[in-house]
Amino acid sequence: MEDGPSVIQQGFLCPFCMTDLGSYIALANHVESAHPEDADTPAFEQIRGFIDKAKRSFKRFEPGIDIENLREKVGNIATSASAGNILQSESLQRSVEPLRKTRSKSREREVKPTKVKPIEIIHVRPEIGVKRSHTDYFLRCREASVNDIAVRTNTLIIRMDKLINEAPQEHSKRKDFERFVVPWSEDSESSACPGCNQKFSLTRRRHHCRLCGKVLCEKCSRFLSFLTARKLTNPALAAAMTEEKQNASTQKAEVRSLDKLADLAQRTGGHLRGLIGGSKSNDGSEDAAEHLRVCVPCLTLLERREQQMEARNPPAMVSLYERLVGLLSEMSKLTPSYSRMALSINNGEAIYTLQAAEELRRRIAERQREVDVLSKTIENEGGEGLPFREQQLRKNIRFVSVQTLHNFISNMPNLPSSEKYAELAEEHRNKVAKQVEEARLQAQRAVSNIKIPSVPIVETKPSSSFMGRVVEDGWTPDFSPITNPFAEEEDRQHPLQEQRGILRGYLSQAAAVGRLEEVEILERNLRDLEAEMRQLGLNFD
Amino acid sequence: MNILATARLYIGEMVTQAGPQMKVLLMDKETTGIVSCAFAQSEMMHKEVYLFERIDNAAPRENIKHLKCIVFVRPTAENIQLLCRELRSPKYAQYYIFFSNIANKSDIKLLAEADEEETVREVHEFFIDAVPLSKHLLSIGLHHPYDASLRLSTTAFLHAKQTIISLLLAFKKAPTVCYQKSNGDCEKLADEVTQVMRREEALFRTCKEDTLLLVIDRSEDCATPLLNQWTYEAMVHELLGLQNNRVTLDGQSLVLSELQDEFYEKNVNANFGEIGQSIKQLMEQFQSKAQIHKNVESIADMKSFVEEYPQFKKMSGTVSKHVSIVGELSRLVAANNLLEVSELEQSIVVDGDHTTCLDRVRNHLVNKQTTVLNATRLVLLYALRFEQHQNNDIDGVVALLRSKEPAAASLVRVLLRFGGASRRKNDLFGSQSAVEMTKRFIKGLKGVENVYTQHTPYLTQIIESIARGRFNENVYPKHTASQYSARVDNIIVFVIGGATYAELAQVRAANERRNQAGGPSVLLATTHMLNAQSFIDQLREMGGTTR
């Protein structure tokens, strides 16, 4: 900024609209009439905050200099520059005093909602009704029944362990051993198969489940391979097998029925048998030896246990989806941050650099592309072979992603070219200067109620519910002051200028990671600081 | 009391409890209606609920183990059984179960025993058990609730009771319970609701007592459902038929939701003439935007167009939807000679000059343009209005109607048995009270604003009398176990046997008045929504004559 305007900026500035009112009385009148508002609003707090901050910044960066001295000095310069105007922080503070008593409107009120959708007027905020949880009761009930099942399954597994590992080699002795481990129920006890309710006869012979000892018919018998049985009794083996299976099989092994697994293991050859450790020899009649006859209820219990043991490998889609959601929630932070920057730049303000905005835009665009690619992959990954619902699920994920993208993109204003930006910045500077000049003229004409439009702060509402998933965490900017230790004393920046540089650095960092709250605070601080600098007659470009 | 907002909060809370990750929502027939009225499908999808399933769907669902499942069902015996089966062989990774009403402890135990794979994470009762059709309207969606003895059927009674209980809990109200004395169902319902409130003391402990619950029966006012209506929503239901805020037009299902459709929200209570105006404005607005659409030559034009694109797209959908609906309405109005029919209906129920009415009814009955429905409603209105008139000619008009509607005699008989003078104890046509007579006299002096909308539903009088504290306790006594609260801030009216959109319009108006001038907030709850056709069908069913 040129020297001229910055000198004009000094004087009795209205803390709300930055208008120079020329004299204390004019300012007090102006504040009372133009900003009639509750003094306890954030705006008032802001002003207090910024004065305090300015003081602190003085103290922090120039501990050697007496602040009051400096002010007086600067004040004197100001006095000579613009006749009759005494610039002092005290004057500002005094101008704030009446605010305590008057009711005035915050800056936000001046921001005209450009096009706000009519919101339904809710007089009483609707609250959720009565809820009642039965979860505890449910879990108590479940525990009892689940324990029962666990005990039953464990009994089966202990029996199974004995049957396959301690059974005698000779075929003839095996039956006796099996009956010794699991007492078989008497044939006379049941005249019909409990599975199919058919009467036993000469053609429908009685068999026994080797695990629970109950009677059943041939048709209702299931056969459990020793391999599966070992897997259930020996978790280490199970892990090895799962690994083996993954290595060996190239085909999609979606259905993990017990039989298939056994099948597969046989195909993978002798390697597995080696793992088993030869505890069981091959005695020709493999079919008879390598299977246990079991009933359906027992098999169900065992299958469930097997499923629990198998580490569930989530399909690739799940990790893709997680990544997609991560990207979307990141974008829901970055996009409003970008809109803010772009708006400020399109107004010609110098709070952000065009470069930083362009950089952020590039980053967002990158993520947009990635979201597009990811969601497309999710949609098309499985192809036509997938079951109907799975396809529908993927289509819907794609649909939501595309919709969210559309929403984000339509909320992103364009950036000016660098030439255009220079023009805009010039325009903005002139406008501010003109406003200040006008204000001064008007103040001189003792017209006290002037208002200049302040830059609207447009709140961009996060449009996506992914916003809800953002976990609040701390954020700190990297501190990397650019100082030249070899600079001559007179080349050194004024502490306020230095502070301004640091603030701007923080601001662009905060904007780049989408910390909207911090951006707001920093923007406010920067404005305050610049206002203070104007008063001190420091140029900051 | 905004039931739609409460429903949205409940459903939102379900999704929150289930947490992030892909989700499927498993519902029954009734809860599907609840969710579809409270949320648009895309809204749910933005909450990561990507699939919607019915628990009572016979076709087996496929396993998708990487989904979380939100179960939202009514706690009926059938649903518990289906849910047990689901949990025995779970299709999804985790289950979050939400019942729409009070569930039995024994049912919860059954579920716990069925959950052998330990997939259930949460079990809750969230009290939203009927369809929130609008901010102030809750409907069970239970058509034909009466049996041949003109009483509520057992299942309908149970459902009505459950709905009232869940409604009270949704609003956290422990109301003063009043009922229509002349009707046995109303008294029984009031009685049983009070019993549940006492039994479930723990649930009602946090509830406020600033509410009046009134249970009335449709037989109190049979005139309203027989009249032609002229406000947008009521007209759509009368002429095209609304089903859970959806209307079918040319085989296309259109959603009319106050939540998602700004134009509809603004015009839902507007009369037919006003809608025409609004549609015209909407068209012009659209055309001016469509103009941009045509000359997108300059880049700036294009940019602004693209920036407006989402709104534009949405708006074009809105425009075409309302244009086609209003177009169809005006076609029907002209084709069925509705203006004339409606004027006659109004003079029957409001003026009540027998001789002229009889002449005009006869004329309409012989007119070929008069549809069966309109002929029937005129005869029914005539019978209802002049039932006790000395010179009435009900038999004569029924004979005239018989050529169009063979069941005419039976319909009239059932109507008078159901809602005739001997059954209803109120002053439906305002001929007995001096106040009403004076009112009408003054109205006559001032002249009527609109001949088609002179009649106001009887419900309006009831609501006004409660609001003014002039509630007739002989006709609508409070339940003996119920306490009168010092101040009635909320009125819940439950209408057994169906309500109409004309009544909803009055409730809406009452709530708008509250926003400006204060007064109680009003909510209408009912078994189902009526139009003339469904009301006549209901009479037919009660008379035991099938079409």
The 10s digit of each residue's pLDDT in A266-297 is: 544 434 433 333 333 333 334 445 778 888 88
How many H helices and E strands in chain B? 22, 14
Range with lowest mean pLDDT among A55-59, A376-380, B23-27, B64-68: A55-59
Instruction: Return the DSSP state at B499.
Output: B
pLDDT given at position A21: 65
ipTM beyond 0.95?
A: no
Q: pLDDT at position B76, please?
A: 94
Partner residue facing B172 (CB), from A130, A304, A469: A130
Range ranked top by mean pLDDT from A77-86, A528-537, B48-57, B144-153:
B48-57
Looking at residues A340-349, what average pLDDT do you find? 83
Interface check B178 vs A, CB under 8 A:
no
pLDDT above 70 for B49: yes
Please name the residues in contact with B507: beta carbons below 8 A apart, sequence gap of 6 or more.
B136, B137, B459, B463, B493, B522, B523, B524
Residues of B with Cβ-Cβ distance to A130 under 8 angstroms:
127, 169-170, 172, 203, 206-207
- For residues B405 and B375, the answer to whether their CB atoms sit within 8 Å is yes
Q: Which of B327-341, B470-484, B523-537 has the highest mean pLDDT?
A: B523-537
pLDDT at B185 over 70: yes
Q: Which residue has the higher pLDDT, B426 or B29?
A: B29
Furthest C-alpha separation in chain B:
79
Asked if residue B492 has pLDDT above 60, the reply is yes
* Separation CA A95–CA A39 (nearest Å): 12
State residue A48's pLDDT score: 47
Beta bridge partners of B529: B499
Q: What is the pLDDT of residue A497?
A: 78
Coil/strand/helix, residue A236: helix
Q: What is the per-residue burial (b if ≥16 Cβ within 10 Å, else e) of A194-215?
A: ebeeeebeeeeebbbbbbbbbb
- Residue B302: pLDDT band (50, 70, 90) is low
Name the pLDDT band for A439 (thresholds 50, 70, 90). confident
Contacts of B127 in chain A (CB under 8 A): 129-131
pLDDT at position B97 is 96
Q: Work out the number of other CB atoms within 10 angstroms of the CB of residue B376.
A: 25
| pLDDT for A88 | 38
How far apart CA B28 and CA B52 sit, in angstroms, is 10
**Higher local confidence (pLDDT), B128 or A154:** B128
Interior angle at CA A353, CA A359 and CA A74, nearest 5? 155
- Average pLDDT, integer, range A320-333: 89
Q: Is the pLDDT of residue B220 over 70?
A: yes
Q: How far apart are CA B274 and CA B266, in angstroms?
A: 11
Long-range contacts, A435-440 (Cβ 8 Å, 24+): A435/A19, A436/A5, A436/A8, A436/A9, A436/A18, A436/A19, A436/A20, A437/A8, A439/A19, A439/A20, A439/A21, A440/A8, A440/A11, A440/A20, A440/A22
Q: CB of B302 within 8 A of CB of B292? A: no
* Residue B174 scores a pLDDT above 80: yes
Is the per-residue pLDDT at A246 higher than 60?
A: no
The pLDDT of residue B382 is: 92
Give the chain B residue nearest A316 (alpha carbons): B66
The reported pLDDT for the residue numbered B291 is: 65
> With 50 as the cut, is the pLDDT of residue A35 above it?
yes
- CA–CA distance, A352 with A302 (Å, rounded to integer): 65
Using an 8 Å Cβ cutoff, are B97 and B89 in contact? no
pLDDT given at position B224 = 94
B109 interfaces chain A, CB cutoff of 8 Å: yes
Q: Which segment of A326-340, B219-233, B304-318 scores lowest on mean pLDDT?
A: B304-318
What per-residue confidence (pLDDT) applies to B159? 93
Most A CBs within 10 Å: which of B53, B108, B116, B201, as the mutation test of the A interface?
B116
Decide if B61 and A145 are in contact by the 8 Å CB cutoff. no
Return the residue of A nearest to B6 by Cα. Answer: A128
Comparing CB atoms, the residue among B13, B64, B123 nearest residue A138 is: B123
Q: What is the DSSP letter of A386?
A: S
Tokens of A3: 């020297």
What are the beta bridge partners of residue B216? B495
How much is the mean pLDDT over chain B?
87
**End-to-end CA gap in chain B:** 41
Give the range with max mean pLDDT: A451-465, A475-489, B377-391, B417-431.
B377-391
According to DSSP, residue A265 is labeled: H
- The pLDDT of residue A20 is 63
Which one, of A134, A500, A50, lies nearest residue B110 by Cα?
A134
| Separation between Cα atoms, residue A435 and residue A154, nearest integer Å | 86
Name the residue facing B109 among A141, A389, A390 (closest C-beta). Answer: A141
Which H or E element spans position B382? Answer: helix B372-385
Q: How far is B12 from chain A (nearest CA, A)?
A: 10
Three-class SS state of B478:
strand
Q: Tell me the CA distances in angstroms from B133 to A402, A520, B116, B151, one per residue in order.
A: 30, 41, 38, 25
Measured between beta carbons, the chain B residues lying within 8 angstroms of A131 are: 13, 124-127
Cβ neighbours around B522 below 10 Å, total: 23
Q: Which of B51, B203, B303 sits opposite A393 (nearest CB)?
A: B51
Q: What is the pairing mode between strands A215-216 and A207-208?
A: antiparallel
Instruction: Specify the pLDDT at position A68.
Output: 46
Residues 53-82 of B with CB under 8 A from A: 61-62, 64-67
| Better pLDDT: B351 or B25 | B25
Alpha-helix residue ranges (DSSP H) falling in B174-249 = 184-199, 201-204, 232-235
Specify whether the CB–CB gap between A342 and A334 falls below 8 A: no
Per DSSP, which regions of B218-283 are E strands?
Answer: 242-243, 246-249, 252-255
- Considering CB atoms only, which of A131, A314, A464 is closest to B46? A464
Phi, psi values for residue A182, rounded to 5°: -120, 110
Out of B13, B45, B170, whose CB is closest to A399?
Answer: B45
Residue range B19-39: average pLDDT?
93
Q: Decide if B490 contacts B173 (C-beta within 8 A).
A: yes
Amino acid A340: pLDDT: 84
Determine how many CB atoms are found less than 10 A away from the CB of residue A170.
9
What is the per-residue pLDDT for B236? Answer: 94
The Cα–Cα gap between B455 and B434 comes to 18
The pLDDT value given to residue A122: 43
Partners of A403 on chain B (C-beta within 8 Å) are: 42, 46
| A124 band by pLDDT with thresholds 50, 70 and 90 | low
- Please report residues of A whose CB lies closer than 8 A to that of B112: 137-142, 145
To 10 degrees, what angle do helices A316-346 and A354-380 make? 150
Higher pLDDT, B289 or A183: A183
Spatial neighbors of B547 by CB under 8 A, at least 6 apart, are B407, B540
Q: How much is the average pLDDT of A364-393? A: 86
Q: Which residue has the tokens 């006003």?
A: B274
pLDDT digits (tens, 9 = 90+) for B87-130: 988 899 999 999 999 999 999 999 999 998 889 999 999 999 99
Kindly list the residues from chain A whose CB atom is less than 8 angstroms away from the CB atom of residue B171. 129
Chain B residues within an 8 Å CB radius of A410: 306-307, 309-310
Name the residue among B61, B103, B169 with its Cβ closest to that of A129.
B169
Chain B 127-156, residues with CB within 8 Å of chain A CB atoms: 127-128
In A11-85, alpha helices (H): 24-34, 42-61, 67-81
Cα A539 from Cα A2, distance rounded (Å): 7
**Closest by alpha carbon to B385, among B353, B349, B410?**
B349
Q: Distances in Å between the alpha carbon of A523 and those of A110, B267, B430, B467?
A: 18, 43, 68, 53
Are residues A410 and B50, on separate chains, in Cβ contact within 8 Å? no
Angle at A21 between CA A16 and CA A25, to 5 degrees: 100
Closest Cα in chain A, distance from residue B183 (Å): 31
Q: Please provide the size of chain A in residues.
A: 541
Q: Check whether B275 has a pLDDT greater than 90.
A: no
Of B422 and B494, the structure prediction assigns the larger pLDDT to B494
Whether the model pTM is above 0.95: no
- Average pLDDT of the residues of chain A: 68
Alpha-carbon span B460 to B479, nearest angstrom: 22
Q: How far is B171 from chain A (nearest CA, A)?
A: 5
Going by pLDDT thresholds of 50, 70 and 90, the confidence category of residue B246 is very high
Cβ atoms A189, A215 nearer than 8 A: yes
In this complex, the residue of B120, B303, B309 whose CB is nearest that of residue A138 is: B120
Residue A25: the pLDDT is 66
Residue B483 dihedral angles phi and psi, to the nearest 5°: -100, 145
Output the pLDDT for position A73.
Answer: 45
Rounded to the nearest angstrom, the gap between the alpha carbon of residue A193 and the centroid of all alpha carbons in its chain is 58
CA pair distance B31, B276, nearest whole angstrom: 35
Asked if residue A38 has pLDDT above 60, the reply is no
- Quote the tokens at residue B244: 């859970």
CA distances from B366 to B69, B207, B346, B359, B360 (A): 60, 58, 20, 11, 10
Is residue A13 very low, low, confident or very high in pLDDT (cuts 50, 70, 90)? low
Compute the distance between CA of residue A443 and CA of residue A20 in angstroms, rounded to an integer.
8
For residue B12, pLDDT beyond 50 = yes
Angle subtended by helix axes A42-61 and A89-101, to nearest 10: 160
How much of chain B is in helix, strand and coil states, percent to nearest 5? 50, 15, 35
pLDDT at A274 (0 to 100): 36
Residues of B in contact with A317 (CB under 8 A): 66
Angle subtended at Cα B230 by Cα B224 and Cα B233, rounded to the nearest 5 degrees: 90
Contact, A372 vs A327, CB < 8 A?
no
